Amino acid sequence: MSRWIVRAGLALLSAGLVAGVGAAQDWRPLDPQNTLVVDTTKGRIVVVMQPDLAPLAVARVKLLSREGVYDGLLFHRVIDHFVDQTGNPNNHDGGVSAYPNLPAEFTATLPSAAIQGVAARKSDGLTGFIGPNPVAGIPSVDGTKVRTWGLYCAGVAGMGRQADPDTANSEIFFMRDASRRLDHDYAVWGRVVQGLDVVRAVAVGEPPKAPDKMIRVRVMADMAPAERPRLEVADVAGPAVARQIAQLRHVRGADFTPCDVLIQTRTAN
Q: Is residue 269 part of a domain?
A: no
Q: Is residue 62 part of a domain?
A: yes
- Write the CB contacts of 166 (distance below 8 Å, at least 6 apart in sequence): 101, 102, 103, 104
Q: Is residue 124 part of a domain?
A: yes
E strand or H helix at 49: strand 43-49
Q: Running DSSP on this structure, what letter comes out for residue 168?
A: B
Q: How many domains does the chain have?
A: 1
Q: Identity (one letter) of the amino acid at 31?
A: D
Where does 50-142 show beta strands of DSSP type E?
A: 77-79, 83-86, 108-111, 116-122, 125-130, 133-139
Expressed as residue numbers, the domain containing 70 is 30-233
Asked whether 12 and 4 are in contact (CB, 8 A), the reply is no
Q: Identity (one letter) of the amino acid at 205?
A: G
Q: Is residue 241 part of a domain?
A: no
Q: Is residue 247 part of a domain?
A: no
Q: pTM of the prediction? A: 0.90
Instruction: Work out the burial of residue 108: count CB atoms within 10 Å of its CB; fewer than 13 is exposed, 13-18 middle, 19 or more buried.
Output: buried
Q: Which CATH number do you get for residue 136?
A: 2.40.100.10
- Write the CB contacts of 11 (distance below 8 Å, at least 6 apart in sequence): none
Q: Is residue 163 part of a domain?
A: yes
Q: What is the DSSP string of 194-230?
A: E-HHHHHHSPPBSS-SS--BEEEEEEGGGS-GGGS--
pLDDT in tens, the chain (269 residues): 344 444 444 444 333 333 345 566 789 999 999 999 999 999 999 999 999 999 999 999 999 999 999 999 999 999 999 999 999 999 988 889 999 999 999 999 999 889 987 766 766 788 999 999 999 999 988 889 999 999 999 999 999 999 999 999 999 999 999 999 999 999 999 999 999 999 999 999 999 999 999 999 999 999 999 999 999 999 999 999 999 999 998 999 988 999 999 899 999 88
Q: Is residue 267 part of a domain?
A: no
Q: Is residue 5 part of a domain?
A: no
